[in-house]
Amino acid sequence: MTFTQTSPNKLMLTNTQFDQLKKEYATLMMDSMDIKSMEQFVFDTIYDNLEMAKEDELKEDIKDMYGDDVLTDLLNNL
């Protein structure tokens, strides 16, 4: 599909096209990041996802992913 210079922003996309546009935009944003920006983005995203975690759930996730020793080390570092 080809767009004229003035029409793309007014075009209604199918769900598939909209999904592809999001993927292309995400790739463009990622490609424009340096490594520090990407690290910060990953950290912020992970931290935001943990905001709603309950204490017992978070501890269990850490144990499941990294084991009891890592959980103990993290708690001892507090």
Residue 50 CA to residue 30 CA, distance in Å, equals 22
Best CA proximity match to 38, nearest among 47, 29, 25: 29
pTM for this predicted structure: 0.67
**Average model confidence (pLDDT) across the chain:** 92
In a domain, 72, yes or no: yes
Query: What residues in the chain have per-residue pLDDT under 50?
Result: none
Domain that holds residue 46: 8-76
Q: What was the pLDDT predicted at 2?
A: 60
63: tokens are 């144990």
> What is the number of structural domains in the chain?
1
Q: What was the pLDDT predicted at 11?
A: 84
In a domain, 65, yes or no: yes
Residues 6+ apart with CB under 8 A from 53: 61
Q: Where are the alpha helices (DSSP H) in 1-78?
A: 15-31, 35-50, 55-66, 68-76
In a domain, 51, yes or no: yes
In a domain, 1, yes or no: no
